[in-house]
Amino acid sequence: MDAIKEYARYLIAAAMLTVGIIGMNLGGGWVWIGLTGFIAIAVADFLSGPDHSKRQHVKDWVCDAILFIQLPLTWALWLTFAHQISTGSLGITNTIGATLVVGFLTALGSLPSAHELMHRHDRFSLICATLYETVYGLPLNDLAHNHIHHPHVGTARDGDTPVRGEWVYGFVPRSIVAGTKDAIKLEKQRLTKLGLSNWSLKSRFLWAVITLSSWITIFLTIAGGITAVPYLLATWAVSFMILGGFNYTQHYGIVRNPDTQLGPRHSWNHLNTFSRAVSFEISTHSEHHLDPDMHYQKLPPHTEAPQMPSIVGCFLASFIPPLWEAKIAKPRLKQWDEQFADADERVLAMAANKKAGWPDWLAET
């Protein structure tokens, strides 16, 4: 029974995607039903409180298999959405609802699996990670994530570390542009070292073009042609905002000297029960950054590391910047500066607070 419960927590994403597919197939107002899973998770996470337990009754092969379940479900969700677009029966309100549902579920339902797989080293996992990434239009996303974000987190070099005072609305496009530029640069450097063309069969550029163009062609064909491009772009935009919003809450405002060894203090943890479950333990973030290759079910929660409340609650609050800063970010960054930062990081924190127009609380202590 304990094993079933521990496996079930990681099937929440698949269940949410399934509900979304059912609603999309039914059409009309039913398309909105896909958001009920997110609402339920948000409420449950608020009520559940912290979860500092470790997975003790699971088998690795089952946890690995779960990572692949969301891929066909994600594709099915998009293709049923495309079919509804082709019928022209949704109307403006339900089209907005369908776009939100597909965007939300793509980011919330499949991104955690994609993230886990992009840290694996076997070819099949990496191919599946790319297929996940292709759905939301960023087939090279893993390059910048693995080779820039992880080694440079908390520094100015990392485009995925939001600075103090930066709103999520500015951070998301900035991080996507930075990540795309870094990915292109990294792949060009790799190919140059190998003496290969950008369009050789071993080039990620070539396969990114093939997978992305194939995906766009399939979606537009089912959706009714070129007139469906705005739906595709709008849904990608929603996915980007949700993807970026969750990333925003996990690194917001933390500073690190590039010469300082990475430690548990350099990431925020969200250790509520459903935060951990629906994110495939991404919210157990300190340990993930210390050992990116450790499989999600084995990540131990760092209870002594910097803590944030519910990741879903933080995500929602981040889109209301005054609320996010006043009630969540500033109090926790003040604590981080005073209790976690070393001498060099305190200097960086004081400069970051000044640039953001925040109080200089370190000077007051």
52-81 confidence digits (pLDDT tens): 888 877 899 999 999 999 999 999 999 999
pLDDT value of position 311: 85
A 10 A CB-CB count for 39 gives: 10
Q: How many Å apart are CA 328 and CA 269, to the nearest integer?
A: 13
pLDDT band at 365 (very low <50, low <70, confident <90, very high): low
Residue 254 has pLDDT above 60, yes or no: yes
Tracing tokens 């292709």 back to the chain, one arrives at 134
Q: How many Å apart are CA 348 and CA 141, to the nearest integer?
A: 28
Contact 295, 122 (CB under 8 A): no
Report the range of poorest mean pLDDT among 54-68, 120-134, 147-161: 54-68
Residue 1 has pLDDT above 70, yes or no: no
Mean pLDDT of 183-196: 96
Q: Percent of the chain, pLDDT > 90?
A: 78
DSSP conformation letters of 224-275: TSGGGHHHHHHHHHHHHHHHHHHHHHHHTT----TTSPP-GGGS-EE-BHHH
Q: How many Å apart are CA 253 and CA 242, to the nearest integer?
A: 19
Residue 110 has pLDDT above 60, yes or no: yes
Residue 109 has pLDDT above 90, yes or no: no
Q: Percent of the chain, pLDDT > 70?
A: 99
Q: How many Å apart are CA 81 and CA 92, to the nearest integer?
A: 14
Q: How many Å apart are CA 288 and CA 294, to the nearest integer?
A: 7
pLDDT band at 235 (very low <50, low <70, confident <90, very high): very high
Tracing tokens 């548990």 back to the chain, one arrives at 264
- What lies within 8 Å, CB to CB, of 291 at 6+ separation is none
User: What is the rounded average pLDDT for all residues in the chain?
Assistant: 92
Residue 321 has pLDDT above 90, yes or no: yes
Q: Which residue has the higher pLDDT, 335 or 46?
A: 335
Q: How many Å apart are CA 74 and CA 89, to the nearest integer?
A: 22
Distance of CA 26 to the CA centre of its chain: 28
CB-count exposure of residue 211 (10 Å: 0-12, 13-18, 19+): middle
pLDDT value of position 301: 87
Strand runs labelled E in the chain: 269-270, 307-308
Residue 285 has pLDDT above 80, yes or no: yes
Mean pLDDT of 228-247: 93
Tracing tokens 């910048």 back to the chain, one arrives at 144
Contact 108, 39 (CB under 8 A): no
Residue 179 has pLDDT above 70, yes or no: yes
Report the range of poorest mean pLDDT among 122-136, 160-174, 254-268, 270-284: 270-284
pLDDT value of position 291: 93
Mean pLDDT of 326-350: 96
Q: How many Å apart are CA 186 and CA 180, to the nearest integer?
A: 10
CB-count exposure of residue 25 (10 Å: 0-12, 13-18, 19+): middle
Distance of CA 31 to the CA centre of its chain: 23
Q: Which of 4, 81, 80, 14 is nearest to 278 (CA)?
A: 14
